Structure 1
Amino acid sequence: MKRFVLDFFSKKAPITSGTVDCIAAKYAKSGLTFQEAAEIKQKINLALKQDRIYKNNAIGLNDLSSHINKDRYKVSQVLNEYLSRNFYSLINQYRIEEAKDLLLTQPFLSVKAIMYEVGFNSKTSFYSAFKKETGLSPNDYRLLTSFAS
């Protein structure tokens, strides 16, 4: 039951062919090779999963680009074209995934403490991002998933 609830509230809207065409046109002259894109994508994943740079509440695209030592325009292209997300959407995805885990595994932590722990500065932006990713508020998520256990 818990898995069903978590899966149900984590579904994303599909990418349309119009979106793909728009992205392809935008980067038609970029010169980014598939091999270079794969390398950048791998470095982005490592920066987020291993180094957890999303916890820096002041992070920006330039910081990510510097961290992986790649041109910001190519990093942006990889995010948009190969990961189908913009920078802040991807950062928030990782922050919310960690927040979901903390809400379940650290029931003694307040939602506000979790918000700061994962890199958000604002309660409003945290709640908006959380609701966008899960369909629930952090409190409702904690409550619903604790009942599903």
Structure 2
Amino acid sequence: MPLDSQILLLLSAFGAFNGLFIAIYFFISKPKDLSNKFLGAMVLMISIRVLKSVLYYFNSEITKTILQIGLSACFLIGPLLYFYCLSKTDQLKEQLIKWPIHLGGLILITLILGLIYPYQNNSQLWGNVLYKIINYVWLFYIVLSSFVLAPKFKNVMQLKLKTDEETIWQLSIFAGNFAIWFAFYTSAYTSYILGAISFSFIFYIMALIAFFKHQKNVQKLPIKYLDKKIIEPNAQPLISQLNYIMTEQQLYKDANLTLPILAKKLTISTQHLSQLLNDNLKKSFSFYVNEFRIQAAKQLLTGEKAMKMDDIAQQSGFNSQSTFYTAFKKISHTTPAKYRDSKI
């Protein structure tokens, strides 16, 4: 094989092989979040689809069974992206058709179609009609996913709220999925192997985003001022005043509330407030504020008027829906939807 072909093979297969390992990681990683399972399954389906393309590009005589498996996997990529977006926005339980039935039905259709019309005996059907249907089904679910993520896109485009790492991650997964679909869809006008190369490139970009996301999520040890720790008799009046201000002025509803702003309201230095939170209350600033926000969210969740999760998050002081879900689960050990259901 010529050197340029070897390089092309390496670039096109890089994402697919690594995608298989990443898919396994999402399946076994803790906490066992359902969204990670959907993401892992999606990455697995894309990897199988890409491997099929790589094998066919470098050896057009491969068995038709491999081609059928690759296209069958492609049929499930869009739905898995859709379920991932639903689970990340806590809308999975709000669907008319439950996701196991929805996804199970699609898998059943794929299996039955493959058994009745195997690629080996129906190459024209698979290569023309079913190939187009599969790609348009993928696109259809990409469009559905865009509606699910529409509030996040709106916030980013209008720059109304500060975009958090989780939102960037979700939008990047969506954009990457669409880019891979577009590369495969336009391969007839460019190159058949372009879709595989695109996946490798996107995989590399997503790996970098995941790395930086992990780095930012690593909890830093709070700075201790052991020689200046506030003694309890002095700390208690400050804590009472702090709780009073947070409750009466509802400062937690400000999504842009910062440690310096709160310290100014309390008429103490930022360092002094940091000491009070870290050393006396044993809480970080964000955790302390989020406790008030979650309490307000719980009242809205169980109120007489049914509200959308996005509205509840905004009225409680969160700058995005994903931040709201993460904080709610961390503090209450359940999701907002499950909490609301438990109170009905």
2:306 aligned with 1:103: no
- Kindly provide the amino acid, as one letter, of the partner of residue 274 in structure 2: S
| Aligned counterpart, 1:93 | 291
Ranges in structure 2 where 5+ consecutive residues have no aligned partner? 1-220
How far apart, CA to CA, are the structure 2 residues paired with 1:114 and 1:61?
23
Number of the residue aligned with 2:251: 53
Q: 1:56-75 CA deviation, whole Å, 9 max, x = no partner? A: 11000001000111111111
Show the 5 A alignment for 1:53-132. 53-132=251-330
Count of residues in Structure 1 that have an aligned counterpart in Structure 2: 124
Letter in 2 for 1:50: E
Uncovered stretches (5+) of structure 1, i.e. residues with no partner: 1-21
**Higher Cα radius of gyration:** 2
Q: What is the CA-CA distance between 1:48 and the residue it aligns to?
A: 1.2
With normalisation by structure 2, the TM-score equals: 0.34
Alpha-carbon distance between aligned partners in 2 of 1:105 and 1:34, rounded to the nearest angstrom? 38
Contact 2:229 2:275 in 1 (8 A): no
Choose between structure 1 and 2 for higher RCO, CA contacts under 8 A separated by at least 6 residues.
Answer: 1
Q: Give the partner amino acid of 2:289.
A: I
Q: For residue 26 of structure 1, report the CA deviation from its aligned partner.
A: 2.4
Q: CA RMSD in A?
A: 1.9
- Matched AA of 2:313: M
CA distance in 1, matches of 2:338, 2:305: 13
Does the CA-based 8 Å contact 2:301-2:340 persist in structure 1? yes
Contact 2:277 2:284 in 1 (8 A): yes
Identity %: 28
Q: Distance in 1 between matches of 2:232 and 2:342?
A: 42
CA distance in 1, matches of 2:271, 2:231: 13
More helix by share: 2
Q: Is the 8 A contact 2:224 2:279 kept in 1?
A: no
Give the corresponding residue for 1:8. none
Preserved CA contact (<8 Å) 2:224 2:275: no
Deviation of 1:82 after TM superposition, in Å, equals: 1.7
TM-score after normalising by structure 1: 0.76
Q: Match of 1:11?
A: none
Give the stretch that moved more between structures: 40-49 or 56-65: 40-49
Aligned-partner Cα distance in 2 for 1:60–1:43: 17
Offset of residue 31 of structure 1:
5.9
2:327 is equivalent to residue 135 of structure 1: no
